[in-house]
Amino acid sequence: MSEPILPPIGMLAELTHRCPLQCPYCSNPLELLKANRELDTQTWLDLFSQAADLGVLQVHLSGGEPTLRRDLEQLIAGLSARGVYTNLITAGVGIAEGRIEAFAEAGLDHLQLSFQGARRVTTDHIGNHQGSHEKKLETARRARAAGLPLTINAPVHRHNIEEVPEFIDLALSLDAERLEIANVQYAGWALANRDRLMPDLAAVNRQADIVAAARERLAGVMTIDFVTPDYFAIYPKPCMGGWARDAFMVAPDGTVLPCHAAQTIPSLRFGRFGERRLAEIWTDSPAFNAFRGTDWMREPCRSCERREIDWGGCRCQAMAIAGDAAATDPACVKSPIHNRMAMLTDAAQAEAAPEGNESFIFRRIGSPQRDPTRALEPARR
């Protein structure tokens, strides 16, 4: 490899795939794991201890919905005892009274709360869960009352992109320190629903202008992060900071992965914690080393001046669109198939259903209601 393997500093722990919401943009895999496949409390604690030994400084506790784990307070306390920064990523629905305060008491450092819409009707519709918007508002208030720093996460797609100004107002009203305008990335359930979620270019440009103006206006008041949409990009983003470069994720069953969608690359096999130590997986796993650094790159990536900026972009996106995980990320203007991105966005607009008739494939444990394979096929020239 072109550079030494450094210790990871960040980890995403998907504690469960269970969730009260059924968001069609979820990045979880289509084959969701049931509760009986989840690691038990002690195994998670052992994993967290090995992560801290390895150098991990921050752990994002996610899912599914991580608050469905009855042992979440114990997991937070275990990380806190090792001095690891903890961020709870939650849908904020169905959290029992007193638990947020218990999370804070256990040592939780930060809470990140997702809103499917800035409007009640949007939140309830996209999550397929009536009453969820009001529950989220209450979760935000309880988090701030418990002294927890708060981030509002707004996953943006066709059906809520015009609500971006309202997301900004919502985050301010909830005393959030940070707002993440996160354009949906198409993996997992989001890829299966791509044609139903993809916004058009005009809407993307409008939201970018709105966010830029708000960042300037609210400097020193609230941080606004903007996750750009790959399908409208000129250059790709580094996947998780670069494949297996400084972060990794762990699935509910202990499978250790470089990113959310890595298991969609059929040539790779990933280790499971308990069968191997975390340090061995990070350092010696052929799957982790497959796209680490720059030596794996082909042209035009190999000689590109951006190769150590975006680290080749997203391998899973290359797999999904080019059919080859080692191909140049099609989001990059230098990719020989960059035009496929425009073809896919155009196709999504041509097939857009009338408002209210999206026919989402809602996220559910078990088989998807409809066969999503057509949405997963790579675009052709």
pLDDT tens sequence across 119-161: 999 999 999 999 999 999 999 999 999 999 999 999 999 999 9
| pTM of the predicted structure, to 2 decimals | 0.92
Per-residue pLDDT at 158: 95
CA–CA gap between residue 354 and residue 356 (Å, rounded)? 6
Are 317 and 329 in contact by the 8 Å Cβ rule? The answer is yes
Does 332 show up as a binding residue in the annotation?
no
> What is the pLDDT confidence band of residue 368, given thresholds at 50, 70 and 90?
low
The mean of the pLDDT values for the chain is 93
Residue 370 has pLDDT above 50, yes or no: no
pLDDT digits 0-9 by tens, 183-206: 999 999 999 999 999 999 999 999
Least confident of 79-83, 159-163, 369-373: 369-373
Which pLDDT value is given to residue 239? 83
Average pLDDT over residues 66-94: 98
Residue 358: pLDDT band (50, 70, 90) is low
Q: Which residues pair with 13 in a beta bridge?
A: 61, 250
What's the DSSP call for residue 238? P
Summarize pLDDT for 314-356 with one digit per residue, the tens. 999 999 999 999 999 999 999 999 999 999 998 888 876 655 5
Residue 350 is predicted with a pLDDT of 81
Q: Is 194 helix (H, G, I), strand (E, B) or coil?
A: helix
Place 3 in a pLDDT band, splitting at 50, 70 and 90.
confident
376 pLDDT higher than 60: no
pLDDT at 380 over 90: no
Task: Delimit the CATH 3.20.20.70 region(s) of the chain.
Answer: 10-232
Please tell me whether the peptide bond between 64 and the residue prior to it is cis, using omega within 30 degrees of 0: yes
Residue 361 has pLDDT above 60, yes or no: yes
**Coil vs helix vs strand at 48:** helix
- Which pLDDT band holds residue 374 (cuts at 50, 70, 90)? very low
Cα R_g (the chain), whole angstroms: 20
Mean pLDDT confidence for 252-278: 96
CB 134 within 8 A of CB 174: no
**What does the pLDDT look like over 106-118, one tens digit per residue?**
999 999 999 999 9
Instruction: Sheet containing 223-227: give its strands across.
Output: 223-227, 178-183, 150-156, 110-114, 85-90, 58-62, 10-14, 247-250, 256-257
Helix (H/G/I), strand (E/B), else coil: 334:
coil
2 confidence band (pLDDT: 50, 70, 90): low
Total residue length of the chain = 381
- Percentages helix, strand, coil for the chain (3-state, rounded to 5) are 35, 15, 50
d(CA 349, CA 87): 36
Cα separation of 307 and 250, whole Å?
26
Select from 238, 247, 271, 280 the least CA-distant residue to 8. 247
What pLDDT was estimated at residue 377? 44
Spatial separation of the C-alpha atoms in residues 312 and 13, rounded to whole Å: 24
CB atoms within 10 A of CB 201: 14
- Across 1-15, 122-136, 238-252, 267-281, least confident range: 1-15
> Domain 10-232 carries which CATH code?
3.20.20.70
Query: H/E element holding 224?
Result: strand 223-227
Q: Tell me whether residue 304 is annotated as binding.
A: no
What is the pLDDT, as a whole number, of residue 375? 41
Checking if the pLDDT of 373 tops 90, the result is no
Mean pLDDT of 46-74: 98
Residue 378 has pLDDT above 60, yes or no: no
